[in-house]
Structure 1
Amino acid sequence: MPTPSPSALPGRRGQAARNDGAILDAAREVFLADPKAPIAAVAERAGVGISALYRRYPGKEDLLRKICHDGLRRYIAEAETALAEPDPTTALRGFLERVVVADVHSLTINLAGTFAPTPEMDADAMRAAELSTELFERARPVLREGIVVDDLTLVLDGCAAVRMPTPDRTREIRLRYVEVLFTGLTTDPARPLPGPPPEARELSWRWHDT
């Protein structure tokens, strides 16, 4: 049975759900703009009282963990959707596009190292890595020599770093560079890739540098 939307919930339950959605949306906007912003800035952006915010999230780290864990779950869901696509090249391209549109990696770039991940987050991170590897291995026959699965993380980080004056233009340009970068992943020119590939340990350190 599908979960009812906040607008469909009655009375106080509906108001609480709407407040929680407003808080999470505001937290994402505030902390992506300034990870050092106080939690009061989130309450102000969300249009709720600070006491209402603290009833849901006792501290800033709790709020940071929530929005980042939501992003991680979105990544997992998009990877699972991609694995249902029979063509591995289409699956990998579609996965990269959807993750970029969801802006999951902006959370990684801006918020990694600002809180301590929970064991549940660590478990989901492992699941995300497993799914990424499965997608990558399915597409390996069309990928250029020397590409490794951890290159995908930096491709996504690079797209998330693109910022334009409006959200629509940001999305458009990011998708443009997904296509440019995907072409680089699947083209095998005579010139070798410079330097050794990234390693998982080089990418995971930022989440534990608190």
Structure 2
Amino acid sequence: MRRPGRGEQAVRNNEAILVAAREIFLADPRAPVAAVAERAKVGIGALYRRYPGKEDLLRTLCHDGLKTFIAEAEQAALEPDDWTAFATFLRGVVQADVHSLTVHLAGTFTPTEQMNADAELAADLAAGLIERARPHLRADIEAADITLLLEMCAAVRLPDAARTGELRDRCLTVLLDGLRTAGPLPGPPPRVLELNWRWLST
């Protein structure tokens, strides 16, 4: 049997590190990097060669989540039906568990310029899908409302991953029905600063 080369092993190690880091830091953002190396079954030196500090690892996790958000939005935008595109986008983001990273890791690192640019792209893509669905949405829904609803779904978490997915899908289905209901919502929608303060705390 052919043994993997150094390049292949490095890729496998990195994948193991990122999977372990997601599990460790979603459970406890204050956990040490050594816990990630132990969970990933890689040497601490191998981890530090790729990620010189904890912030670098956290930054990569969140940037990967942002890229997933963008990919889900771009894929959903291909749907010809406006409501289906919107609902497909939300389901894809919830299933990918993107917003768990925001809820747990916001403010734990300094975003790069590229992350900020990608965040703007993500916001534009989401806004486009929301505008397409606008004729079907209650009149006073804003993009920031959708952000908080996605974070609500991400808050559903059980030890059983499959059951977590089922309950999140159930929650999202209720929320989607509510988004189409007529009648005014109480209070103003979330403000941009109310959503972004977490990223400004470092």
| Superposition TM-score, scaled by structure 2 size | 0.97
Match of 1:193 in 2: 185
Question: Which consecutive unaligned segments of at least 5 residues does structure 1 have?
Answer: 1-7
Match of 1:180 in 2: 174
Separation (CA, whole Å) in 2 of partners of 1:195 and 1:9: 62
Q: For each residue in 1:123-167, what CA deviation from the matched residue of structure 2 results, as whole angstroms up to 9, or x when unmatched?
A: 000000000100000100000121111111001000000112300
Does the alignment pair 1:171 with 2:171? Answer: no
Does the alignment pair 1:147 with 2:152? Answer: no
Number of aligned positions between the proteins: 201
- 1:10, distance to aligned residue in structure 2 (A): 4.7
Q: Quick one: which of 138, 142, 151 aligns to 1:157?
A: 151
Q: Secondary structure at the match of 1:147?
A: coil
Does the alignment pair 1:134 with 2:133? Answer: no
Matches for 1:53-132 after TM superposition, within 5 Å: 53-132=47-126
Q: For each residue in 1:59-92, what CA deviation from the matched residue of structure 2 results, as whole angstroms up to 9, or x when unmatched?
A: 0000000000000000000000111111110111
Asked if the contact 1:117–1:208 (Cα under 8 Å) also holds between the matched residues in 2, the reply is: no
Match of 1:4 in 2: none
Separation (CA, whole Å) in 1 of partners of 2:143 and 2:50: 37
Match of 1:23 in 2: 17
Separation (CA, whole Å) in 2 of partners of 1:195 and 1:165: 35
Separation (CA, whole Å) in 2 of partners of 1:10 and 1:86: 44
Q: For each residue in 1:152-206, what CA deviation from the matched residue of structure 2 results, as whole angstroms up to 9, or x when unmatched?
A: 10010000001123000000000001100011111114xx211101122211121
Identity of aligned residues (%): 64
- Letter matched to residue 199 of structure 1: R
Does the alignment pair 1:209 with 2:198? Answer: no
Q: Secondary structure at the match of 2:58?
A: helix
Separation (CA, whole Å) in 2 of partners of 1:119 and 1:63: 16
- Letter matched to residue 92 of structure 1: F
Question: Which consecutive unaligned segments of at least 5 residues does structure 2 have?
Answer: none
Q: Secondary structure at the match of 1:180?
A: helix
Note the aligned Cα RMSD (angstroms): 1.3
Separation (CA, whole Å) in 2 of partners of 1:88 and 1:18: 39
Deviation beyond 4 Å, 4+ runs, structure 1: none
Q: For each residue in 1:78-107, what CA deviation from the matched residue of structure 2 results, as whole angstroms up to 9, or x when unmatched?
A: 000111111110111111111111000000
> For the structure 1 residues 9 and 82, does the alpha-carbon distance in structure 2 shift closer, same or farther, using more than 3 Å as the test?
farther
